[in-house]
Structure 1
Amino acid sequence: MRPAVNSPDDAAERLRQIELVTDTALAHLESDDLLREMLHRVSKLLNVDTATVMRYEPAGELLVATAAVGIEDEVRQNVRVHVGPAFADAVASGRRPPILDSQEDPSVLRPVFQEHGIDTLIGTPMLAGGEIIGVLYIGTYETRRFTEHDVHLLQLVADRIALAIHASTTHAERAATKALQRSLLPTRLPTVPGITLDARYVSGVDPGVGGDWYDVFTLPSGHIGIVIGDVVGSGLAAAIIMGRLRSALRAYALETEDPAQVLHKLDRKVTHFEPNAMATVAYSIYDPAATTLHISMAGHLPPVIGTPSSGSHLAEVPVDPPVGLGVARRKRRTSMLTLPTNGVVCFFTDGLVERRHRSIDLGLEQLCEAIHPAPAGTVCTTVMNKLVGTEPPTDDVALLAISHSG
């Protein structure tokens, strides 16, 4: 049986080993470099032949080889393990560091381990912020009994790696989310005789936001499609779903000019292909000749209508369930609004009116007070100044104004 070379017999040796894996000098390293350095250090400290980090991908319930020492081909070959009864899976699922011996339980070893002749493995979950990041495991070619100190040291390394991966992933995901959001927003709004169009979009400062969007496009008939929506959820996943919904809605808008039918098709698509997704959406079709909006609401807040004579108020339109709920208790409805002469209609997402220490009713009241008939650009500027001001919003904010130019 292979002994543990670095079994510490005194407090000084234990402290030296702990300092090696918690060295603050490692903080300047990029995530990939830190992973490799930590794996090299733990391999030497614990006298093991292999050390591997497997990242957890919850969407596919997979563990994916990300970094390795001793069996680097795991990473090069993009080894992927489905969550199940195998060793790494058991560690991830149980969130505990079991010690497994291939002779006692051969089912725990995947073919890749058997090919390398690995006899004994120990693994521990990598957790950060209460979420599982992945699994760190080490292995030896000879039979080995790991001590409690070995397990403790391995857990310290796992914690250090988990924090580094979490920080790097959070930063990269937020950058990717913002880039995706911006790429999906219209670069230029259509020019439509008789009206002005303008919009604002501000990313929230809370980590993980990312599902708001607006869209304006010209239909083959010459009518104008107007969309605003908010995907329930956060982060890159919500932004990706938002992109899919945007593309699907545009496709359905070419099939019918009934907004309710478009949202019905979108609901069916989300329910079938995105079973865990849900979004609120308002879809309108503007007829320039009649200056009317045909609108269907899927769980979204109604737009605000501003007129020169009677002030501003929330549009009185029926609101049907959000898309993705899969409920078909009633047929979705389309309503008609008339764009008032020299008036304005404002669509928005809830990030504009919701605050942690303020009721949404107060936010809606302030929004109505801020909207007065004016060119769309002026309306957007006024609303953002009064409701957002100089303090960055915690949630994403999307605002779209349509002003009648007389």
Structure 2
Amino acid sequence: MIEADNPGADERLRRIEAVTDSALSQLEVGDLLDELLARICGLLGVDTAVILLLDQHAQQLVATAAKGLEEEVRQGFRIAVGRGFAGRVAQDRQPVVLERVTPAEVVNPLLHEKGIRSMLGVPMFAGSELVGVLHVGTLTPRRFGADDIRLLQLVADRASLASQARTGNIDRTAALALQRSLLPTRLPEAVGVDMAARYVPGHHTGIGGDWYDVFTLPSGWLGIVVGDVSGHGLPAAVVMGRLRSALRAYALECDDPADALTRLDRKIQHFEAGKLATVLYALISPDRTELRISLAGHLAPMIARPGEPVDTVPLPIDLPLGTGRPRARRSTTVEFPPGALLVCYTDGLVERRDELIDIGLERLRAAIRPGPAETVCGKIMTSLGVEQPVDDVALLALRRAPAAAAAD
């Protein structure tokens, strides 16, 4: 008998087509998961189906979608990996069959209240990474066979793709919201200083760990920050936001950039253990005649003084934040004459994988010409070709008003 005339083969084909139907791709992620669960309930003849996604940070499975056990999602049910039925599936990373449900093997009281008698669970993967668990249950005793396991695993694979898309969309939305809230939409107006900035993410989410900041202090000094948190995407952006806020707070308490960075270093070691960050923190005096700068592992800024070649500001570079090696930090005072231009940046502007960083620094130096800050930023971004960088890029240019303008 050929395969096409085999009723069992026909049934298997029907089942596979039901869960790989291309029309499912047209649904929103939430609707797709609901439809997959509804179809698997019908195909396997089960009474419940639940998707629990893995919270990587907490190492807990979180009920995300359900049929027949919707209350599990509404209650925000969570269970640790390794605990209970779903936790066992996640820990073993293998299908698990329970022909008879007992309190020792199933710890979720909702399953007992529902009267679940038999269960089948399979892990959900994205590549080799565990992303969740899919399990089904019946109100009558049931023996799940090899075909049932294969079909449920097929659904789990389809649900994994959908859940990854959902997570990616959430991350991108959150990242864009962070970008709007943490990066200045407008630089503050400061008498005697012309400013402009650029930010280009090197990650597909649209944000990363680089940032710039400008703020006026009650003393009249102008705070300037350019920083770079290790990592990319949303996780780096979250840490960046915390450091940005903390540094602003420390800036109100001390008038020495090195002191503020020392406090920020203690903060990152205690609350952001394992993270590293480089930071340039500078203060411009109220009369705009001088800069007070401290570098925590960050590239030194460049300065263009009227009638002089563009030069890297000669500054000592202290350790990055978060290294766990306490060392005294230093601040350096630099003259800031009328018409002088200060250019601060992160390494994504000058680093390229296939060349020494010195080449990128020379390229930046050649692109800097004294002039309005906005014009300078545009010229630098065009000259250094960072339309699609592999690393985040933050650029901040500040020019002290020329003598004639200052006199006016």
TM-score strictly above 0.5:
yes
Aligned counterpart, 1:255 = 253
Aligned counterpart, 1:382 = 379
Distance of 1:353 and 1:143 partners within structure 2? 66
Residue 373 (structure 2) pairs with residue 368 (structure 1): no
- 1:113 deviates by 2.2
Distance of 1:359 and 1:157 partners within structure 2? 49
Equivalent runs, 1:4-403 vs 2, <5 Å? 10-101=8-99, 103=101, 106-207=104-205, 209-289=207-287, 291-328=289-326, 330-388=327-385, 391-403=387-399
- 1:69 deviates by 0.5
Distance of 2:194 and 2:395 partners within structure 1? 14
Distance of 1:109 and 1:227 partners within structure 2? 51
Amino acid at match of 2:346: T
State the SS of the aligned residue for 2:334: strand
- 1:13-54 Cα distance to aligned partner (Å, 9 max, x none): 211111111100111000000010000111111111111011
Large movers: runs of 4+ above 6 Å: none
State the SS of the aligned residue for 2:389: coil
Task: Indicate if the aligned counterparts of 1:311 and 1:372 stay in contact, CA closer than 8 A.
Answer: no
Amino acid at match of 2:272: E
Amino acid at match of 1:26: L
- 1:355-392 Cα distance to aligned partner (Å, 9 max, x none): 34444332222111111221211111110111136x33
Task: Indicate if the aligned counterparts of 1:298 and 1:323 stay in contact, CA closer than 8 A.
Answer: yes
> Which blocks of at least 5 consecutive residues in structure 2 are unaligned?
1-5, 403-408
- 1:272 deviates by 1.6
What count of residue pairs does the alignment treat as equivalent?
397
- 1:123 deviates by 1.8
Task: Indicate if the aligned counterparts of 2:216 and 2:223 stay in contact, CA closer than 8 A.
Answer: yes
Distance 1:183 1:100, change over 3 A: same
Task: Indicate if the aligned counterparts of 2:176 and 2:206 stay in contact, CA closer than 8 A.
Answer: no
Distance 1:100 1:182, change over 3 A: same
Amino acid at match of 1:404: R
Aligned counterpart, 1:3 = none
Task: Indicate if the aligned counterparts of 2:288 and 2:400 stay in contact, CA closer than 8 A.
Answer: no
> Which blocks of at least 5 consecutive residues in structure 1 are unaligned?
1-7
Amino acid at match of 1:150: D
- 1:60 deviates by 2.1
**TM-score scaled by length of structure 1:** 0.91
Amino acid at match of 1:375: P
- 1:149-188 Cα distance to aligned partner (Å, 9 max, x none): 2111111111111111212321331132022112212233
Percent of paired sites with the same residue: 52
Task: After superposing the two structures, state which structure 1 stretch, 43-52 or 112-121, moved more.
Answer: 112-121
Distance of 1:338 and 1:123 partners within structure 2? 69
Task: Indicate if the aligned counterparts of 1:63 and 1:80 stay in contact, CA closer than 8 A.
Answer: yes
* CA RMSD between the two structures: 2.1
